[in-house]
């Protein structure tokens, strides 16, 4: 007897599978017994008694990312014979080796199957003794499979259409939440195989397949968060501090609040980091002389807050704020609510919607607000247009210029000097494929299923020019999005939250103010509710100042809790 051989197991969290399908229970058990005895240490031996049952198992393994090394199918099975099974199985696992188990009388069918299903081998019954008739065949097939190096993809998979706005949003959601995923086009072979395994079709995209193998068809952000391991439900009914917003100010407040012993929860609508989290490179933030990406900074801050005990909840949209005695209650869009002694509003700002006709129709299909970092690899060797003259636009231009054919920054101002940091302007001047088109604006867009052309107007001459462009990134100012505070918190004419001394202009105290003392520096018109970051009226709109205000707001929270 030859010494048993154990092929090397590929580097994967799953054992590769060897699947045997035979409708005869006795034969099925015997095949699996012999396979398990020889290969069970390094391979998962799967047994099925019908072609349909085997295909169901293969779909589940496809969704989980489990590799399939060998398919061993009996030729004579009712309902679906071995050749029909292998023909369908190869659509799911094209790299699995295919072996047909046949009787002597069926050898002609087995030979014909070589052309039909690209059969790798046929094995005659009986296979006893396996050391002579079964194992040499299996060893050769496993060696051949190992040489293909078809390593499985075990992280989250996203299948979608290239120009689907929702597919783009899902990818951005996963990326901004630091969740690894693999993208598949719905019309490419592997995308088609995954849709088949998920029993989904191209009319209902995107399809997200979790690392555990669960398919989600066109999921909402909340459904995504629930199935990919993000926290969405608070662990307590009442907190010392609720921080609303997960940008630099909110993360700073969560870190300092939790580290100083406050029961702290941070509530974020989409992903931590805010607008800063989408920046490709922040080079003027203290302590990072070589620069840091917004995503890296947000990830470190989130982990730091969690280390100190702060809870971070995602996909929870706050739609209201109430005063209930000494408690401050925030209401969520889904009808739930959460209460605390104090609240810090750190919701930052959103990019303003561009008014040009057609922009909304192409959002997510060539038009993107912010940097949309997940789209950057697809912009290689393309002509890109960026609208906006602030630092975020400059950082995006520097980043995208590395692979784009050209990057054009479109600004209405005569230059970038009044809106962009000097260091960024200097960098842009040194990049050959970046140009600034001043005194100009986008006044129209065109295309079929995605952006194909934009219309630019020169505001000095009034002339218009149509240029070919598939990529337009918009960074056009800030809107606070504070309508949910109507009737509760005082704001300025643009919607930014007023606090501290700004509430006392021309009066001794804000309307409805119930305390003997005046509001603290970052305290709003509601005692115990504070503001930090870009949503604060007249804020500096810099990452460092936002983090600083988050920390300062926590200091004032302590003052309030000590003596309201």
Q: Are residues 375 and 473 in the same domain?
A: yes
**What would the two tokens of residue 180 be?**
């690894």
Name the 3-class secondary structure at 270. coil
Task: Please indicate, yes or no, if residue 232 is contained in any of the structural domains.
Answer: no
Number of domains in the chain: 4
Tell me the pairing of strands 318-324 and 156-160. unpaired
- Residue 142 CA to residue 397 CA, distance in Å, equals 49
Q: What is the CATH number of the domain that holds 172?
A: 3.40.30.10
Q: Are residues 370 and 429 in the same domain?
A: yes
Q: What is the CATH number of the domain that holds 95?
A: 3.40.50.2300
How far are the Cα atoms of 116, 323, 406 from residue 122, in angstroms, in the given order? 13, 76, 56
Task: Please indicate, yes or no, if residue 66 is contained in any of the structural domains.
Answer: yes
Instruction: Give the other-Cβ count within 10 Å of 395's Cβ.
Output: 26
**CA nearest to 436, candidates 385, 477, 478:** 385
**What would the two tokens of residue 27 be?**
């034969």
- Which residues, in sequence order, are CB contacts of 526 under 8 Å at separation 6+? 321, 323, 328, 488, 489
Task: Please indicate, yes or no, if residue 532 is contained in any of the structural domains.
Answer: yes
Q: In the beta sheet, which residues pair with residue 311? A: 265
Q: What is the CATH number of the domain that holds 439?
A: 3.50.50.60
**CA nearest to 481, candidates 276, 318, 302, 265:** 318
Q: In the beta sheet, which residues pair with residue 100? A: 73, 122
Q: Are residues 345 and 381 in the same domain?
A: no
Q: In the beta sheet, which residues pair with residue 523? A: 530
Element spanning 238, H or E: strand 238-244
> What secondary structure does DSSP assign to 412-439, as a single string?
SSS-STTTS-HHHHHHHHT-TTEEEE-S
Distance of CA 545 to the CA centre of its chain: 28
- Residue 286 CA to residue 496 CA, distance in Å, equals 26
Q: Are residues 438 and 512 in the same domain?
A: no
Task: Please indicate, yes or no, if residue 275 is contained in any of the structural domains.
Answer: yes
Task: Please indicate, yes or no, if residue 5 is contained in any of the structural domains.
Answer: no
- Check residue 471 and give left, alpha or beta (phi > 0: left; psi -120 to 50: alpha): beta
Last residue within a domain, chosen from 428, 454, 478: 478
Q: Are residues 374 and 466 in the same domain?
A: yes
- Residue 94 CA to residue 132 CA, distance in Å, equals 28
Burial (CB count within 10 angstroms: exposed 0-12, middle 13-18, buried 19+), residue 84: middle
Q: Are residues 247 and 311 in the same domain?
A: yes
Task: Please indicate, yes or no, if residue 283 is contained in any of the structural domains.
Answer: yes
> What secondary structure does DSSP assign to 533-549, as a single string?
STTBTT----HHHHHHH
Q: Are residues 208 and 256 in the same domain?
A: no
Last residue within a domain, chosen from 197, 227, 257: 227
Task: Please indicate, yes or no, if residue 426 is contained in any of the structural domains.
Answer: yes
pLDDT of the chain along its 564 residues, tens only?
333 344 434 434 578 999 999 999 988 999 999 999 999 999 999 999 999 999 999 999 999 888 999 999 998 888 888 888 998 898 888 889 999 888 766 666 666 666 666 788 888 877 889 998 899 999 999 998 988 756 656 689 999 998 899 999 999 999 888 888 899 999 999 999 999 999 998 888 999 999 888 999 999 999 999 998 899 999 999 999 999 999 999 999 999 999 999 999 999 999 999 888 888 788 888 888 888 888 889 989 999 999 999 999 999 999 999 999 999 999 999 999 999 999 999 999 988 899 999 999 999 999 999 876 777 778 889 999 999 999 989 999 999 998 899 999 999 999 999 899 999 999 999 999 999 999 999 999 999 989 999 999 999 999 999 999 999 999 997 789 999 999 999 999 999 999 999 999 888 889 889 899 999 999 999 999 999 999 999 998 889 999 999 999 999 999 999 988
Tell me the pairing of strands 207-209 and 238-244. unpaired
Instruction: Give the other-Cβ count within 10 Å of 405's Cβ.
Output: 12
Tell me the pairing of strands 311-313 and 318-324. unpaired
Pair 159, 195: CB distance under 8 Å: yes
Radius of gyration in angstroms for the set of CA atoms belonging to the chain, rounded to a whole number: 30
> What secondary structure does DSSP assign to 475-490, as a single string?
---EE---GGGTTTS-
Phi and psi at residue 443, to the nearest 5°: -120, 0
Name the 3-class secondary structure at 11. coil
| Cα angle for residues 557, 562, 564 (degrees, 5° grid) | 75
| Cα angle for residues 364, 541, 480 (degrees, 5° grid) | 55
Task: Please indicate, yes or no, if residue 2 is contained in any of the structural domains.
Answer: no
Q: What 8-state DSSP symbol labels residue 523?
A: B
Last residue within a domain, chosen from 461, 478, 495: 478
Q: Provide the residue range defining the domain that includes 194.
A: 156-227
**CA nearest to 332, candidates 321, 345, 348:** 321
């Amino acid at each position: 007897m030859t010494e048993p051989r154990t092929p090397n197991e590929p580097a994967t969290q799953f054992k590769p599978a060897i699947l045997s399908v035979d409708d005869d229970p006795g034969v099925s058990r015997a095949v699996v017994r012999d396979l398990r005895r020889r290969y069970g240490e390094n391979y998962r031996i799967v047994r099925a008694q019908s072609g349909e049952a085997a295909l169901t198992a293969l779909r589940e393994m496809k969704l989980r990312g489990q590799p399939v090394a060998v398919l061993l199918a009996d030729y004579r099975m009712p309902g679906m014979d071995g050749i029909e099974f292998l023909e369908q199985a190869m659509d799911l696992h094209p790299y699995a080796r295919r072996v047909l188990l046949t009787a002597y009388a069926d050898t002609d069918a087995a030979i014909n199957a070589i052309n039909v299903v690209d059969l790798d081998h046929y094995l005659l019954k009986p296979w006893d003794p396996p050391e002579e008739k079964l194992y040499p065949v299996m060893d050769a097939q496993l060696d051949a499979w190992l040489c293909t190096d078809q390593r499985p993809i075990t992280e989250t998979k996203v299948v979608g259409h290239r120009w689907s706005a929702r597919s783009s949003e899902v990818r951005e959601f996963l990326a901004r939440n630091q969740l690894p995923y693999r993208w598949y086009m719905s019309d490419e072979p592997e995308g088609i195989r995954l849709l088949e395994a998920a029993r989904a079709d191209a009319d209902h995209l995107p399809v997200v397949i979790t690392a555990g193998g669960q398919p989600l068809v066109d999921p909402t952000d909340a459904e995504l968060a629930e199935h990919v391991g993000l926290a969405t439900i608070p662990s307590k009914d009442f907190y010392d501090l609720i921080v609303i917003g997960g940008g630099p100010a909110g993360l700073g407040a969560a870190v300092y609040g939790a580290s100083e012993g406050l029961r702290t929860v941070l509530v974020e609508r989409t992903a931590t980091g805010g607008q800063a989290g989408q920046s490709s490179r922040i080079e003027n933030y203290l302590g990072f002389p070589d620069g840091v990406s917004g995503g890296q900074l947000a990830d470190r801050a989130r982990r730091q807050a969690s280390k100190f005990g702060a809870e971070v909840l995602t996909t929870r949209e706050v739609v209201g704020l109430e005063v209930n005695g000494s408690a401050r209650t925030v209401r969520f869009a889904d009808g739930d609510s959460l209460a605390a002694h104090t609240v810090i509003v750190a919701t930052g700002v959103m990019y303003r919607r561009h008014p040009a006709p057609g922009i909304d129709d192409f959002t997510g299909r060539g038009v993107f607000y912010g940097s949309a970092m997940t789209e950057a690899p697809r912009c290689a060797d393309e002509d890109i247009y960026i609208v906006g003259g602030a630092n975020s636009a400059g950082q995006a231009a520097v980043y995208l210029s590395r692979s784009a054919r050209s990057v054009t920054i479109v600004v209405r101002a005569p230059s970038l000097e009044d809106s962009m940091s000097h260091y960024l302007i200097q960098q842009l001047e040194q990049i050959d494929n970046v140009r600034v088109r001043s005194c100009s604006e986008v006044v129209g867009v065109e295309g079929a299923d995605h952006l194909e052309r934009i219309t630019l107007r020169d505001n000095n001459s009034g002339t218009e020019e149509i240029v070919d462009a598939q990529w337009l990134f918009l960074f056009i100012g800030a809107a606070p999005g504070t309508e949910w505070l109507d009737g509760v918190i005082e704001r300025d004419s643009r919607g930014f939250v007023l606090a501290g001394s700004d509430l006392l202009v021309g009066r001794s105290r804000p309307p409805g103010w119930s305390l003997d003392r005046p509001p603290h520096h970052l305290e709003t018109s509601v005692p115990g509710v504070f503001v930090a970051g870009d949503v604060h009226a007249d804020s500096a709109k810099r990452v460092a100042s936002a983090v600083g205000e988050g920390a300062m707001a926590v200091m004032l929270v302590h003052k309030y809790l000590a003596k309201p």
